[in-house]
Amino acid sequence: MRTVLFGLIVSLFLGLKNSAWAYQLGKMTAFKGSELCQLADNTNEYLALGVEFDQKAIHGGSLNSRQFSLDQVKKTLEFICHTYRQDVRAKRQSRLHDAAFIEQNFELVPWYPELERARQIAAKTDNQGRKSLLNRIPENKILLTKYYAKKITGKAQPVEPYVHALYSLPYDEVGLTEDQAQIQKNKLTRFKYSRQQVMRGVIDTQKLAPPLIYVTEAALHDILLQGTAVVKQGDSTRYFNVDRNNGIDYDYAAEKDQQARYWYFREVPGVMGYGKTAKRKIQIYPQVTVAGDVQQLGLGKLIALTYKQDQQTVTRLTLLADEGGAFKNNLFQLDLMVGFYQGWRDYHAANQHLPDFVQAHILLLKDSDE
């Protein structure tokens, strides 16, 4: 009798828990099918380079003990564009914005965050806001941070307060591949200096690397955090993207201006996301790109993010096509690329409606015979 009663209690508890965690897609919004399709194409093109080119990111990936196949990921990306282009030709509303269509054609794999890892980082940081966020991550939601391409004013020559350069790769590394540079790292300029040393002028005074453009100190810290600088010059726009760093890990517990990690840059045609080499980066787009732990999850995951907005449940589709220093061993967070902003004030005004925590599901195309 006691065993039966205990079993009923456990069943009731699990039923209540599963009911509380019940998931339903909301109104499909806040993303463009055209940009999701273009990003899917760009990402699939990178995946086609093969596992031998990039073992870190080009693999099926895993989440919460669930293993994915690379073939599944590629077929999912292909289906995104196949659907979008069919709808364009038929001159109809994109089915990528139809929750019933998504549920019919994709398996939804729930993402439960690694809370122990988040709590470990929270215990190390002195930033009370960050500590609070990490400690408040729910069991059934992930932390959703946001990043943007920094719109800046830059100068061709140093003039106060524009005295901090974005440097291209040092002269002693020009022509070396990433792998060749790693072999010679003990004698290369890039690996010798921290951010603070570079800002004090060691690169400039010794003429160790060519400056691309000069920015303010505040802008430099923002650019090094966000990864991209957007400079408007007359009718043209120039983009500068991180290239290679000094080999110092990002410190999740430190403030952005206390980081020792430093990046060298290169000019690029648009906003670039993940890539093993500077010439093989994926061009990304706002509102459909997320950065995350590509080493564990695998590049190119289609991820649905669901949350409440104006008393309504909404869902957006995103693709994992970027990473960042904060995503080493991090399965509790994604970073949504939200657009182009000059700084915190205009970024916050445009994105304050977005929540800190969202339900996340990895979407995989179902087999055709299911």
Q: Distance from CA of residue 252 to its chain's centroid?
A: 15
Name the E strands within the chain: 27-28, 62-63, 66-67, 106-110, 142-152, 164-167, 211-215, 228-233, 236-245, 263-268, 289-291, 302-309, 312-322, 333-341, 357-365
pLDDT digits (tens, 9 = 90+) for 71-119: 999 999 999 999 999 999 999 999 999 999 999 999 999 999 999 999 9
Q: What is the model's pLDDT at position 16?
A: 42
Q: For the chain, what is the domain count?
A: 1
Q: What is the model's pLDDT at position 81?
A: 96
How does pLDDT run along the chain (370 residues), one tens digit per residue?
444 444 444 344 444 444 444 568 999 999 999 999 999 999 999 999 999 999 999 999 999 989 999 999 999 999 999 999 999 999 999 999 999 999 999 999 999 999 999 999 999 988 899 899 999 999 999 999 999 888 888 898 999 999 999 999 999 999 999 889 999 999 999 999 999 999 999 999 999 999 999 999 999 998 998 888 998 877 788 999 899 999 999 887 788 889 999 999 999 988 999 999 888 999 999 999 999 999 999 999 999 999 999 889 999 999 999 998 788 899 999 999 999 998 888 999 999 999 999 999 999 999 876 5
Q: What is the model's pLDDT at position 6?
A: 41
Within 8 A by CB and 6+ apart from 201, the residues are none
Name the E strands within 13-76: 27-28, 62-63, 66-67
Residue among 268, 265, 244 nearest 181 (CA): 244
Whole-prediction pTM: 0.82
Query: Is residue 146 a contact partner of residue 349, using CB atoms and an 8 Å limit?
Result: no
Residue 71 lies in a domain: yes
Kindly report the CATH number assigned to the domain that includes residue 221.
2.40.240.50
Within 8 A by CB and 6+ apart from 143, the residues are 113, 118, 133, 134, 137, 332, 333, 334, 356, 357
Provide the token pair at 6: 């205990």
Residue 11 lies in a domain: no
Q: What is the model's pLDDT at position 237?
A: 87
Residue 12 lies in a domain: no
Range of the domain at 64: 26-365
Q: From the CB of residue 75, how many other CB atoms can be counted at a distance below 10 Å?
A: 18
175/171 Cα distance (integer angstroms): 9
Residue 157 lies in a domain: yes
Residue 19 lies in a domain: no
